[in-house]
Structure 1
Amino acid sequence: MNPTIKDVAKMANVSIATVSRVLNNLGGYTDKTRQRVNEVIKEIGYQPNAIARGLINKRTQTIGVLFPNVSSSFSSEILQGAEDFAHGRNYSIVVCNTDGDGKRTMKYLQLLREKQVDGIIFSSSELRDEYRAVIGNMKIPVVLISSQSNDPAIPYVRIDDSQAAFDAVDYLVAKGHRKIAMISGGKEDVLTGTPRVQGYLRALQKHGIPFDERYLVYGDFRFESGCREFENLLRTVPDLTAVFAASDEMAIGVLSAAYKHGIKVPDDISVIGFDGLQLSSMVVPPLTTVRQPLVEMGQMASEILIQMIETGQTATGQIVAHSIVERQTVRTLA
């Protein structure tokens, strides 16, 4: 038979309420008592039940995190930050891979409701009204990462995508490039696709470079679309000197396709990515990129959410700083 909280209290010679307070870091006991309770827990192998603990503090110490593509490097770095902070505050994380599918997202929200999570981090996908309604009925807080909602009261953590794209193209122009192509995300992607295209166009306009629609193509942020769209660009605008890819995965796809065609980077073509994934420093040549502090963004979202859970107070959105990481895929033209 599994040991119970009553067994712990009896062996530690304290009340059940004291054991509960130790388990939930609520205070009201001495260090000696906390040490004794933890020793007994370890000695008898007691495993606290999250639901049972939730009956006492009305929380299960769990957070739901929803990603459209949990296997991507982008998602894994955000998750690392969110989980690191949550773990330090004795929260566990339930990860859901929605695959960008509305029905699947609704199914996962129902699952998180059944699991009685204390809050939700919603990443890289639009928080539609139907999702917001479900979360509202759950009466738990939600924080967005690289996402948006029609409700301005919902806090978020994100960069200024339009300004970051502007800075990437401005950087290329400063290096002497004027025939600059862009591989964007999806045409209908209002979260990050559209703002980054707007930044690209603003930078061209600032420098008096006429926009040629042949230089703007659309992928889906993934490696394969970077390969495909770069080959399309080679056919339609073979005189281009630089490519701005709206994700590091697509930029790495450009590097791969360039190698396949015997095109040298940066001697023949310059490439700048977007995201600052750890992977971007590992490719050959190492990728110049616009860095989002993804791990830090995950930590910030987790911190904001837990603060809302524990205080019941609302929070405001956070725009975090981006930066350009110079490596070896952009050259200066004479």
Structure 2
Amino acid sequence: MKPTIRDVAKMAGVSISTVSRVMNAPETVVESKRLKVLDAIEELKYQPNSFARGLIYRKSFTLGLLIPDIENMYYAGMIRGMQDACIKLGYSLMICNTDRDPERLLSYIDAFHEKQVDGIVFASDMLFPEYYDKLVGCRIPFVMVSSHSDEYDIPSVEVDDEAAAYDAVKFLIELGHKQIGMLGFNDVNSIAGPPRIEGFARALKEFGLEHNLEKVKYASHRFEHAYEASHELFSEYPDTTAVFCVADEFAMGAISYLKDRNVLVPGQVSVVGFDNVRMAGMFIPKLTTIAQPIYELGYRSAEQLHELVTTGSVKVTREKMKHRLIVRESTRER
């Protein structure tokens, strides 16, 4: 049978409240009693259960994560980073998949409130007023990862999507490509979609390739939709020799479409992805891609939320992490 706080108090010869104060505010207990309690805790191998711990510290030691698509490869690395940070910081992690459904997301916020989570990480989605009002109304601290809010002053951690897209397209141009297309997100509420379009356009304009600005096709966030968008792109613009994709899953869809039509990648068409998910280095051909520090984004968002929960603020409200271009097999000189 597991030892209880009552057992610790009995062995140390003190009251239960003294044991609680040793765990909660040890400086308020005289040294002789404090040492007796600590010796008893050590001898009995006592560990307060999470409920008791929550009563003592008035915290649940649990963080919540709201993600839009748990099947998306991108979120595996993010979750791993958050989980590792939570272990280090002493939290458990609750994950809820929203499918970008407003009613479901709001119901999850209510569930988090009921479970008394200490804070929430809001991932890769737009912060609509009803979401903000619900979170503020529940008095739950929250931060955003792979997203941000222009309307509200909410802590966030992400990469510079516009600059990253610019670097990807500039790389294709420097390889000698002049007929360049793009596969973008068709979700009007996408946070990352518009700045990646802007980066694509900035690179084209800078190098006098504005004729490519119309060569953009849109897809939802899945492989099969990118496959269909690739069909639209190459049917309408068959002279395209390079494609910038806003996600690695889109790049895989584009390459699969081209393979099915006996178009060589990178022999005839070069493809650049975005994210550097684990599969990017396993796919054939291995993907040239913009690497987000996915694990670090998750880890840092948990750290940032811990900072907000414990101090009431964060040192850096809008934190930008560095991206980098990884050149593999899916691109070559024109």
Query: Normalising to structure 2: TM-score of the pair?
Result: 0.90
User: Is it true that 1:327 corresponds to 2:331 in the alignment?
Assistant: no
Using the alignment, how far apart are the partners of 1:12 and 1:283 within structure 2? 61
* Aligned equivalents of 2:97, 2:106: Cα separation in 1: 12
User: Matched residues in 2 for 1:18 and 1:107: separation?
Assistant: 40
Could you say what the CA RMSD is over the residues aligned between the two structures, in angstroms? 2.4
Q: Which moved more, 1:122-131 or 1:148-157?
A: 148-157
Q: How far 1:13 moved relative to its partner? A: 5.8
For the structure 1 residues 150 and 200, does the alpha-carbon distance in structure 2 shift closer, same or farther, using more than 3 Å as the test? closer
- Rounded to whole Å, the distance in 2 between the matches of 1:32 and 1:3 is 16
- Percent sequence identity over matched residues? 37
Alignment of 1:1-334 (within 5 A): 4-11=4-11, 16=16, 20=20, 37-38=41-42, 40-41=44-45, 48-50=49-51, 52-212=52-212, 214-315=214-315, 316-333=317-334
Indicate the larger mover: 186-195 or 245-254: 186-195
Contact (CA 8 Å) 2:204, 2:212: kept in 1 or not? no
Mapped contact 2:304–2:314 kept (Cα < 8 A): no
Deviates more, 1:142-151 or 1:13-22: 13-22
1:51-107, Cα deviation, whole Å (9 max, x unpaired): x32222111100010001122111111111111011111101110111100000010
C-alpha displacement of 1:260: 1.6
- Does structure 1 retain, via aligned residues, the 8 Å contact 2:201–2:213? no
Matched AA of 1:319: K
Post-superposition Cα deviations, 1:236-283, rounded to whole Å, max 9, x if no partner, equal 111111011100011011122222222221111100000111110111
In structure 2, list runs of 5 or more residues that go unmatched. none
SS in 2 for 1:331: coil
Change (3 A) 1:14 1:230: farther
**Per the alignment, do residues 35 and 204 of structure 1 end up closer, same or farther by CA in structure 2, a change over 3 Å counting?**
farther
Structure 1 pair 56–238 and aligned structure 2 pair: CA distance change class (3 A): same
Q: How many corresponding residue pairs? A: 328
Higher mean alpha-carbon deviation, 128-137 vs 317-326, is at: 128-137
Q: Tell me the distance in 2 between the aligned counterparts of 1:294 and 1:303.
A: 14
In the superposition, relative to structure 1, how do residues 137 and 278 fare at CA in structure 2: closer, same or farther (>3 Å)? same
* Letter of the structure 1 residue corresponding to residue 167 of structure 2: D
Indicate how the Cα distance of structure 1 residues 242 and 155 shifts in structure 2: closer, same or farther if over 3 A, else same: same
Distance 1:39 1:228, change over 3 A: farther
Question: Could you say if the C-alpha distance between residues 294 and 21 of structure 1 is closer, same or farther in structure 2, counting changes exceeding 3 Å?
Answer: farther
Instruction: Select between 313-322 and 6-15 the one with higher mean Cα deviation.
Output: 6-15
Offset at 1:329? 0.6
